[in-house]
Structure formats: C-alpha cells, structure tokens
Amino acid sequence: MFTGIIEEMGTVREIISRGNSCILKVEAKTVLEDMKLGDSISVNGVCLTITEITSSTFSADISLETLRVSNLKSLRSGDLVNLERSLKLTDRLGGHLVLGHVDGTGQILSKQVKENTIFLTISAPEELLCYIVPKGSIAVDGISLTVIQTSSNSFSVAIVPFTAAKTTLGFKKVGDTVNLETDILGRYVEKLLQGRLESKQRSIDLAFLAEHGFLDGGP
C-alpha cells in the first residue's frame, strides 16, 4: 500500500522482453536505501515486486495484465518514472490510500499554466468516472491528487510547483497517457450497497431456501 507521495524520479535503464511480459530495470537513489528483494515499489502508480538490486538500480517483473491496463508498456530506456516505496504503519499518510492496482489509463486533454500552478484536464474511461468526484482523491501516475471538477468524459486536477518539480507531471504534454487509480473507498461502498439492495429485492421462496441449504431438494 502507498500514499501517492512520490519520493523521487528514477530513470529507466533497460526493458527486457520475455514473451508477453518483461523485466524493468530502473536507476534510482533514495528508494534503494533500505530496499530488499521481494519488497513492493510503486512505479508510475503500479505496484511491482523487486526481483534484483544493485548499488544503483532495481529490477522488477511486469506481467501481461499490468502491461495491458497501464502505460508501462510505452516506457523506453531513458524515460523518467515516479517512484514510491510501500507505506510503513508508522509513516504519516500525507496523500491517500493507494494500492498500486491501476484501474486504467487516461489521456491529458489540456494543460494550462496559471501563475505558478499547472491545471490538467485528463480523460477517463466511462467505467471509472463514477468513482471520480469533485474534492475526492485520485492517483495519477502514482501521484495523490485532489479532483477539481468532472465532466462526462474527463476530470481536472491542479499541479502545484513542488509536485511539478518532483514528478513526471511537470513535463507531461497534451496527448500523453497517465495511469489512473480511483479511490478504493468508493468501490467498497458501492459493493456494500449493491449487496444490500440485491438482498432486499430478492424474495424468500423455495429456490432461495434451497440455495442457502434450508431444503434438501427432496419431496
């Protein structure tokens, strides 16, 4: 689990294709300080498992499913990526609860600079927009941001100077893709309400009793 507070930007050094998956090697500094094999790390918002460590790099496997739903498939050697180590129970939760399980990708539709703030409008798949609400939290390429407003196909966020300087969103352009992870709390609430609604709508009949083990199906 992560907080969406990026610790540093790493540099992609190598991508080794392995059929439908690949191995990603990233050069870093801060995140290597207490890293161990098997640790989790967020790369552009995607939770990966460390498989190899050197004095200046770490490597991680990327599965077919991760390549399908995220923008990691478009990474090239030399690209910068956002990095965050997994959350410790003693850490401050500066952003919001981020799982590193990317829901999908969006595209930067517009980028406006007003005074010292960057305003981005980002498209989102229809199935994700119901979980994106004004003043709510969203992770964009692993960065915890607050939603300003939403529309039928997009949402907007503000990038303050510190975030622009310390993350990849500072140099992202219109047309670039970003990883999106919606707030998991909204999904749990939806699932809970759906279950209650379904239980209220279903009447107690012979089929219901048999399904739940109250009838043996005999005469």
Sketch the domain layout of the chain as residue ranges: 8-85, 104-191
- pLDDT tens, residue by residue, 76-131: 999 999 999 999 888 888 889 899 999 999 999 999 999 999 999 999 999 999 99
DSSP assignment letter at 42: E
The arrangement of secondary structure in 8-85, i.e. its CATH architecture, is Beta Barrel (2.40)
Asked whether the domain spanning 104-191 has the same topology as the one spanning 8-85, the reply is yes
Query: If you count them, how many residues does the chain have?
Result: 219
Q: What is the pLDDT of residue 169?
A: 96
C-alpha–C-alpha distance, residues 196 and 191, integer Å:
9
**Chain segment 1-36, per-residue pLDDT in tens:** 999 999 999 999 999 998 889 999 999 999 999 999
Q: How far is the C-alpha of 124 from the C-alpha of 61, rounded, in Å? A: 27
In terms of pLDDT, which residue wins out, 205 or 143?
143
Is 204's pLDDT higher than 60? no
**63 vs 18: CA distance, rounded Å:** 10
pLDDT band for position 200 (50/70/90)? low
Could you give the CA distance from residue 53 to residue 129 in angstroms, rounded to a whole number? 38
Predicted local distance difference test score (pLDDT) of residue 199? 61
**Average of per-residue pLDDT across 55-75:** 96
The answer to whether residues 132 and 124 touch, using CB atoms and an 8 Å cutoff, is: yes
**Paired strand residues for 110:** 121
CATH code, 104-191: 2.40.30.20
